[in-house]
Structure 1
Amino acid sequence: MFIGLPAGRVGELLIQRRGVVLRLHLAAPGIEAVSVVLPLDALFEVRVQVALRLWRVLTDRRAGPDPVKLSPERVSRLILALRALDGLDAGATQREIAGVLFGQKVSARDWLSHDLHFRMKRLVSFARGLTEGGYRRLLLHPFRGW
């Protein structure tokens, strides 16, 4: 059975069950049954996953994964990008930064054809894109396009 929601209340309601906190927006007072309104927009697929998560929590099941949470791989890449920018701002070369970030020293002679050279180029390009306004795409998660 679903939990009872406060009658006649409009606004925000937080539900905490099994270590998951969900925020509900109560739009109309006097509704007897719990319902979900899902706009048919670009975020529809994510909204459906979140609605299923809410239903699982309300029926005392495991919520499942949070569809809007950044993956550990994405977080690691963002951290590497910030560290690379810090190194560049401090005057380090990409080769020096690669040695610190990836724990692998590459000689100056081998650098231009080494895999880390190309990996650093991509990382620096990604990091500079973030500083030029790309960081705002994080707000569009999970539809960031990268």
Structure 2
Amino acid sequence: MLAGPVRLHYLLSGITQIDVKTLTLRRLVVLCRRGRFPLGLFPPEPRARRWVLALQAYDGLTAGASHREIAMALFGETIVRDDWNGRSQYLRLRVRRLIQVATALVQGGYRDLLG
């Protein structure tokens, strides 16, 4: 693309994701002009930390770890010891949700992260 003329066809339809689509075009234009990715147009992904935790939980699950063992690996033994059997089920639910997110990602949902 950088070596010569290129004809691009980019469909911008619908208003619901217009910001994402125009950002992609802005990134491409700057890449073509400067020959590098512009850091200012790639802000940190706020959901990245959750995706990492989810994939770590999935790794634990596929290795045969129990939900409690996964919680200990992710959040620490002290928190699990204090809260696992507490009045609230927040920790158990958090592990379940992380596994659900990871399962969806592994089953093809990762493609949605690229858009």
TM-score bracket relative to the smaller structure: 0.5 to 0.7
Give the corresponding residue for 1:96: 69
Q: What is the CA distance between 1:110 and its match in structure 2?
A: 0.9
2:20 to 46, 68, 71: 46
Matched to 2:13, the amino acid is: D
Q: What is the distance in 2 between the residues matched to 1:82 and 1:66?
A: 26
TM-score calculated relative to the size of structure 1:
0.53
Computing the radius of gyration from Cα coordinates, the structure with the larger value is 1
- Number of matched residues? 105
Q: What is the distance in 2 between the residues matched to 1:38 and 1:109?
A: 51
Gapped runs of 5+ residues in structure 2? Answer: none
Q: What is the CA distance between 1:74 and its match in structure 2?
A: 2.2
Give the corresponding residue for 2:81: 106
User: Given that residues 38 and 48 in structure 1 are in contact (C-alpha distance below 8 angstroms), is that contact kept between their aligned partners in structure 2?
Assistant: no
Matched to 2:99, the amino acid is: V
Distance 1:108 1:92, change over 3 A: farther
The CA deviation string for residues 49-95 of structure 1, in whole angstroms up to 9 with x for no partner, is: 3455647x96xxxx67325x661x32222221111111111211111
Counting helix residues as a fraction of each chain, which structure ranks higher? 2
Task: Report sequence identity in percent.
Answer: 34
Return the structure number with greater relative CO, CA threshold 8 A, min gap 6: 2
Counting strand residues as a fraction of each chain, which structure ranks higher? 1
1:81 aligns with 2:54: yes
Matched to 1:74, the amino acid is: R
Q: What is the distance in 1 between the residues matched to 2:93 and 2:101?
A: 12
The alignment yields a C-alpha RMSD, in angstroms, of 3.4
